[in-house]
């Protein structure tokens, strides 16, 4: 096979995973990441089903299992922090709201980077400024002024991908009507190793989750149809959160105090990407940039790892990039469709407006968490995304 050059844009989960498999298949791979260094932010992400198998085939499963957050399960709590309904973590590749392989996004990204950095050229602190493609390749001009021609460009820049706008100008996020603010706060004595989730009413949720570095990952979520909150500056976002959560109860005051103390946070307006095609000529989309399912799906990282593997397998199988990219899409599309199809009423049902609706939700959760229901397998069906409903294609030998 002639060596073909591939530029991957984005070094979080999808990008480095694609880079690993593409380099192994003999491609000359460059990864460009907009930030100056690997990003550390982010909270617990799940690796389930087919994606566990991808890590296994990369030789990274043990390292990932050794770096899990130690989350014991998911407990819905009342305003005193007492359990309403508790779901222990899954004990296999796929099941439960807390997965067996629950890892900080930044930690997973670091593992992937360390595993690829000797075989791949990484460019940090740069990004694609413009690209122009013809029948034989893509001319890329980087923001730094660097110019380079590649045979193929893969955009793994996440849900708000900027370069996607250059190639797919009509792509729009389908908003779910929910914003989430994620932050890291100091751990205190009464914190536990469970994901504790307080349904606060008025479309709000307050969450505390353990990590493996001695802090607590907190998040607050709010149902709202107001757009543009993610475009406000920090002070504007803090004001919105303060107004929305001042009477929310449980851990909300602690989280608001951390915001006042300057805790860095990441604010996301949740939305899915639904594009009719992920490919335009020699440019293709991967991961959240292509098909973001949102954090409430619990399957975004699984789809990113799996899609990266499938893309590389398709490209390694033929020198015809058109056939390869069509194969990648045909293989991934049904899995992505399943992953994006959220249970009816998501995310509104889990974030009710009234306290009466919360009482109903808690009654249902108690019933589902009860031992007879767990024995009947009701839990796995309700709370596990369909991560095992996919068989990885073989990776062609070099």
Q: Which of 266, 317, 374, 383 binds ligand FAD (CB under 6 A)?
A: 266
Out of 182, 265, 309, 335, which residue is the one contacting ligand FAD (CB under 6 A)? 182
Question: Measuring CA to CA, which residue among 29, 32, 5, 42 is closest to residue 268?
Answer: 42
Q: Which long-range contacts (CB under 8 A, 24 or more apart) does 262-265 make?
A: 263/183, 263/184, 263/185, 264/41, 264/183, 264/184, 265/181, 265/182, 265/183, 265/237
Residue placing its CB nearer to ligand FAD in the complex, 386 or 396: 386
Which member of 201, 203, 271, 287 binds ligand FAD (CB under 6 A)?
A: 287
Over the window 318 to 347, marking each residue x when it contacts ligand FAD by CB under 6 A and - when it does not, the resulting string is ------------------------------
Cα separation values, 325 from 22, 199, 291, 308, 339, Å: 14, 43, 15, 12, 20
**C-alpha to C-alpha distance for 59 and 5, rounded to whole angstroms:** 25
Question: Which of residues 93, 100, 102, 288 is near ligand FAD by CB under 6 A?
Answer: 288
Task: Find the binder of ligand FAD among 18, 23, 32, 216 (CB under 6 A).
Answer: 32
**Which of 116, 133, 163, 207 touches ligand FAD by CB under 6 A?**
163
Please state whether the peptide bond connecting residue 347 to the residue before it is cis, i.e. omega within 30 degrees of 0. yes
In whole angstroms, the minimum distance from the beta carbon of 366 to ligand FAD comes to 26
Binding track, positions 95-134, relative to ligand FAD; x by CB under 6 A: ----------x---------------------x-------
Instruction: Quickly count: other Cβ atoms within 10 Å of residue 92's Cβ.
Output: 13
Please identify, using beta-carbon distances, which residue of 340 and 358 lies nearer to ligand FAD.
340
Closest CA to 85 of 96, 100, 74: 74
Burial class (CB in 10 A: 0-12, 13-18, 19+), 2: exposed
Which residues of this chain interact with ligand FAD, rule CB under 6 A? Answer: 9-15, 32-35, 39, 41-43, 45, 105, 127, 156-158, 161-163, 182, 266, 287-288, 295, 300-301, 304
């Amino acid at each position: 096979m002639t060596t073909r050059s591939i530029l991957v844009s984005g070094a979080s989960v999808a990008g480095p995973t694609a880079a690993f498999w593409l380099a192994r298949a003999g491609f000359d791979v460059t990864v460009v990441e907009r930030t100056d260094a690997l990003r550390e932010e982010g909270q617990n992400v799940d690796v389930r089903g087919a994606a566990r198998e991808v890590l296994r085939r990369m030789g990274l499963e043990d390292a990932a299992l050794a770096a899990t957050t130690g989350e014991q399960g998911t407990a819905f709590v009342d305003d005193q922090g007492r359990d309403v309904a508790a779901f222990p973590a899954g004990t296999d590749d796929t099941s439960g709201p807390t997965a067996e392989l629950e890892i900080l996004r930044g930690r997973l990204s670091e593992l992937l980077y360390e595993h690829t950095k000797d075989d791949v050229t990484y460019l940090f602190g740069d990004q694609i400024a413009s690209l122009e493609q013809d029948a034989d390749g893509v001319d890329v001009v980087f923001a730094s002024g660097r110019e380079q021609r590649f045979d193929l460009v893969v955009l793994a820049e996440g849900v708000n991908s900027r370069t996607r706008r250059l190639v797919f100008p009509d792509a729009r996020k389908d908003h779910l009507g929910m914003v989430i603010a994620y932050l890291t706060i100091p751990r205190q004595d009464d914190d536990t190793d469970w994901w504790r989730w307080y349904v606060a009413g008025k479309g709000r949720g307050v969450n505390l989750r353990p990590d493996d570095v001695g802090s607590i990952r907190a998040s607050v979520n709010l149902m709202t149809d107001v757009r543009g909150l993610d475009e406000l500056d920090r002070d504007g976002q803090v004001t919105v959160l303060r107004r929305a959560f001042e009477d929310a109860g449980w851990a909300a005051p602690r989280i608001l105090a951390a915001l006042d103390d300057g805790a860095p946070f990441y604010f996301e307006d949740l939305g899915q990407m639904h594009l009719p095609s992920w490919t335009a000529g020699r440019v293709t989309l991967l991961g959240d940039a292509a098909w973001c399912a949102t954090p409430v799906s619990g399957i975004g990282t699984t789809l990113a790892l799996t899609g990266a593997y499938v893309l590389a397998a398709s490209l390694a199988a033929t020198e015809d990039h058109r056939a390869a990219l069509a194969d990648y899409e045909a293989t991934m599309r049904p899995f992505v469709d399943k992953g994006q199809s959220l249970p009816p009423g998501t995310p509104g049902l889990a974030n009710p407006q009234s306290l009466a609706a919360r009482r109903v939700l808690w009654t249902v959760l108690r019933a589902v968490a009860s031992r007879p229901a767990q024995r009947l397998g009701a839990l796995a069906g309700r709370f596990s995304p369909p991560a095992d409903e996919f068989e990885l294609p073989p990776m062609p030998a070099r």
